A and B are shown apart, each in its own frame.
Chain A
Amino acid sequence: MSNQAIAVANPTDVDFPADVRQRLDEINQRPVLLDLDGLNKIFISPTGQKIQALSDFDLRIHQRELITVVGPSGCGKSTMIRIIAGFETPTTGEVRLDGNPIETPGADRGMVFQSYTLFPWLSVKDNVKFGLKMANDPAAKSDEVALEWIDTVGLSGFADHYPHQLSGGMKQRVAIARALAPKPRILMMDEPFGALDARTRAQMQNHLLEIWRDVDVTILFITHDLDEAVYLADRVLVLGSHPGHIKALVDVPLPRPRQHEQIFDPRFVETKRYVEHLIHPPEDKG
């Protein structure tokens, strides 16, 4: 199924508030930041079998959008993000960032992983400075920029701590600061809050939205938590599995700023139910 085949139709479109509709239209008119053009990825297993991970991925992500990706296991979420990051090359097709094809990893695409990938031998401050140092940015010489970022993610006072002295939530805050410090065009997050407990996760979601409001960055956010997907996103990308393909791109009819009581909003519940049905169609159940 290609992107065009699925209508961006949404059963909840009966009730799109005018300001939300307007906002989504405005996003759609922004220039395309990331363009996935007919991506196919075939892995060859050690036994020689061909495994198709991605099938005909077509997707355009606009500037300063927050798009979440959900789908069952084996839907190619991680493969997609790894291709965009440049860790894998697609078998056919192309990824373009601002119109330029992507071939290798680069600082213009920040990554936050589910496992804590802070450098354990560096302090929080030096972790945040890492990207600047790699880019030979003079800002890496002083602490100023790093401290600003640490402040932004709410960790003032922890600049000289080491990762093993931080909790999981704090580590992910540092990871976000570190990814944002070199000013990437897009921040890709691969189930970043998956390992956190529910309360910390809720805090981190709001915190991420707050950062995103202040920072000029597009976010591509993978999750398996539908609440999280709908709560955070302008649009939810729903993937299907075997092979991984795009099922639908669902507009979220919720105004911003988001607040947690919105999860009781009928529109939130409707959207979530619709996404749930896309992932597990009722006839598949049982």
Chain B
Amino acid sequence: MTDPTPHLDHTPPVRRKRRDPWMRVRRDLSPKRQRRLVVMSFVFPLLVWSVLAYVPFFHNDYRLTITPEPHSNKVANLVPGDRMAKDYFATYLDEVRSGNDDVLAKRAENPDIQGSSRANQKIIRRIQPLAEANGWIDDVDTSDFKALDAALFDVWLGVAEGRFTPASLNLTDENFEIVKANAELMQAFAPYDPGNKIKTPLLNLMPQGVSSSATFLPAPHECVKAMIEDFTTKPANDQPWMYERVLSSLKVVLGGFLLSCLIGVPLGILCGSYDLFSKLFEPFSDFFRYMPAPTFGLLLVAAFGVGGAPKIALVFIGTFPHMVLMIADTARLLDTKLIEAAEALGANRTKLLRYVVVPGILPSLYEDLRTLLGWAWTWLVIAELIGTKTGLTAFIDMQGGKYNFDRVYPVIILIGIIGFVTDQFLQAMAYRLFPWEFPRHRPSLFARIKGWFNRGGDDTPADPPSTSPHTGSPGPRRGAPPTATPRTGRPANPNPAGGA
């Protein structure tokens, strides 16, 4: 070896902070980066949702605020809060405008024309959203139609006279003119008297709306608002509370899944262990799983009635064949050397199954069941729609039918959260239950603390003491290769008397 001369040519190295690249094939990132990315993976979709819902550029619809009754049935009867595609809104406007033109034409022809007082009443009532938005009728009991009509009648006059100035939900100029025109006619009938009705046809308010995201994509805050309302207020018409729906759904999923486990797990293990069971059960299971479970829906209702039983049966049918096949495959993956080792240690048939096959495949079995539980949730949706609709799916079905998608999204997300949290919990449990399967997994804080108590604090399980990292075995220290010390009287054999 040459003499190292570190004092010569000693220029301090240029300190450059080395940045790890973000992308390297099959290399893990630092835990800090990983955590950041995990958060991002949830933030990003939320961000996309928010952009689509809040940025006007992506707005495709109007959320209607003032919804006059259309002149013909070309446009459906709408209520405030409904959404309408921007393209179609023009048709709606034309529709109402042509109706008003019609009225004006008739009035010009015959100034004393007598129209329907009922139609006028409807027109007057359509100003209600404006009155509500500005708090002009806050002290009016809206279930008392007489009082409401009187108040709304006054709103028309008040807006025309300038007594009421809309602060929120501004009227368009066109609508302001209409209000003034109508108020002129209504003046003669003030104050409001239900017995003295205005017969001259009034003009309809023009439709108004605010730009909004598409019907199928309500904004996040609308969903949160709807969710809070749905979870905290007692549902109408004796509908179940939301948490009752959650429990009902859980009952179906877990009922079907556990029933499937009860038979599927032992059968799967037998199929994977004995060719007899494998050939007897697996071909049919393989065939059966290609018959879609939902197609059995009505059969199951006919067989089990309309209650919960057919739903549980459907989840069972959807899960069971997959379970048998998956677990059989898992059982077959057990290293045959382990079985042979056990046989050479005197294990008989039953003991082999109980002490080797079952514990040997347990981690993979657990993993399989975790996956299958995810599938069971998929079958839930169909299961809850057969017979009497129940649970969360019934709620989605009901609200979705009414286009109340702001109420639908929270429930869909809730199902996702239940599944995800269960899965994460089961995964975390797996680290605790099967530590040997995850040697690289950092033991949980709990496990480490337990380890200190068990070993008096001087040892950690992942780092056995007195283990030479080179040979990995206790005994001679490093630097004493077995053949290198024959003449020193210190043979490599720790016990010089070794050998027979």
A282 within 8 A of B: no
B474 within 8 A of A: yes
Instruction: Check B337–A203 contact: CB distance below 8 A.
Output: no
Contact partner of A206 among B338, B342, B493, CB < 8 A?
B493
Instruction: Check A202–B483 contact: CB distance below 8 A.
Output: yes
Which residues does chain B contribute within 8 Å of A154, judged by CB atoms? 473-475, 494
B42 within 8 A of A: no
Query: A interface vs B, CB < 8 Å?
Result: 66, 85-87, 105-107, 109-111, 113, 115, 117, 119-122, 130-131, 133-135, 154-155, 157-158, 161-170, 173, 175, 178-179, 182, 197, 199-200, 202-204, 206-207, 209-210, 212-213, 256-261, 263
The answer for the CA separation of A110 and B343 in the assembled complex, in Å, is: 9
B461 within 8 A of A: yes
Closest to B345 in A: A131
Instruction: Check B340–A135 contact: CB distance below 8 A.
Output: no
Closest to A172 in B: B473
> Which of B56-64, B226-234, B320-328, B433-441 contacts its partner?
B433-441
Which residues does chain B contribute within 8 Å of A202, judged by CB atoms? 482-483, 492
The answer for the CA separation of A25 and B345 in the assembled complex, in Å, is: 33
Interfacial residues of chain B within 453-500, with CB under 8 A of chain A in the complex = 461-462, 464-467, 470-476, 481-483, 486, 491-500
5 shortest interchain CB distances as A-B pairs? A167-B472, A257-B499, A107-B346, A105-B343, A131-B345
Instruction: Check A117–B346 contact: CB distance below 8 A.
Output: no
The answer for the CA separation of A105 and B461 in the assembled complex, in Å, is: 35
Instruction: Check B344–A170 contact: CB distance below 8 A.
Output: no
Instruction: Check A260–B486 contact: CB distance below 8 A.
Output: yes
The answer for the CA separation of A212 and B465 in the assembled complex, in Å, is: 27
Contact partner of B355 among A109, A130, A209, A261, CB < 8 A?
A130
B141 within 8 A of A: no
The answer for the CA separation of A154 and B465 in the assembled complex, in Å, is: 14
Instruction: Check A167–B473 contact: CB distance below 8 A.
Output: yes
Instruction: Check B499–A259 contact: CB distance below 8 A.
Output: yes
The answer for the CA separation of A197 and B468 in the assembled complex, in Å, is: 13
Which residues does chain A contribute within 8 Å of B492, judged by CB atoms? 202-203, 206, 260
B129 within 8 A of A: no
Which residues does chain A contribute within 8 Å of B435, judged by CB atoms? 162, 164
Which residues does chain A contribute within 8 Å of B344, judged by CB atoms? 85, 105-107, 109-111, 179
Known: A113-B337, A167-B473, A197-B471. A259 touches B493 (CB 8 A): yes
CB distance from A255 to the nearest CB of B (A): 9
Instruction: Check B467–A167 contact: CB distance below 8 A.
Output: yes
Contact partner of B473 among A85, A86, A203, CB < 8 A?
A203
Contact partner of A179 among B345, B466, B471, CB < 8 A?
B345
Instruction: Check B461–A165 contact: CB distance below 8 A.
Output: yes
Instruction: Check B493–A117 contact: CB distance below 8 A.
Output: no
Closest to A261 in B: B486
CB distance from A129 to the nearest CB of B (A): 10
Closest to B474 in A: A154
Main secondary structure of the interface of B (DSSP, over half): loop
Which residues does chain B contribute within 8 Å of A204, judged by CB atoms? 473
Interfacial residues of chain B within 307-357, with CB under 8 A of chain A in the complex = 335, 337-338, 340-348, 351, 355-356
Which residues does chain B contribute within 8 Å of A107, judged by CB atoms? 344-346
Contact partner of A213 among B346, B362, B499, CB < 8 A?
B499
Known: A200-B473, A260-B491, A260-B493. A209 touches B499 (CB 8 A): yes
Instruction: Check B497–A117 contact: CB distance below 8 A.
Output: no
The answer for the CA separation of A270 and B342 in the assembled complex, in Å, is: 40
B360 within 8 A of A: yes
Instruction: Check A121–B434 contact: CB distance below 8 A.
Output: yes
The answer for the CA separation of A271 and B348 in the assembled complex, in Å, is: 43
Which residues does chain B contribute within 8 Å of A261, judged by CB atoms? 483, 486, 491
B235 within 8 A of A: no
B81 within 8 A of A: no
Instruction: Check B439–A164 contact: CB distance below 8 A.
Output: yes
Instruction: Check A203–B436 contact: CB distance below 8 A.
Output: no
CB distance from B64 to the nearest CB of A (A): 64
Instruction: Check A209–B498 contact: CB distance below 8 A.
Output: yes
The answer for the CA separation of A263 and B482 in the assembled complex, in Å, is: 12
Contact partner of A131 among B338, B346, B462, CB < 8 A?
B346
Contact partner of A134 among B347, B461, B496, CB < 8 A?
B347
Instruction: Check A213–B351 contact: CB distance below 8 A.
Output: no
Known: A157-B465, A165-B461, A203-B476. A213 touches B500 (CB 8 A): yes
B191 within 8 A of A: no
The answer for the CA separation of A119 and B486 in the assembled complex, in Å, is: 38
Instruction: Check A199–B481 contact: CB distance below 8 A.
Output: yes
Ordered by A's residue number, 22 sampled pairs between the chains whose C-beta atoms are within 8 Å are A105-B346, A113-B340, A113-B341, A121-B436, A134-B348, A154-B475, A155-B474, A162-B435, A162-B461, A165-B462, A165-B464, A175-B341, A179-B345, A199-B471, A202-B492, A203-B492, A206-B493, A206-B499, A207-B493, A257-B499, A259-B496, A260-B493
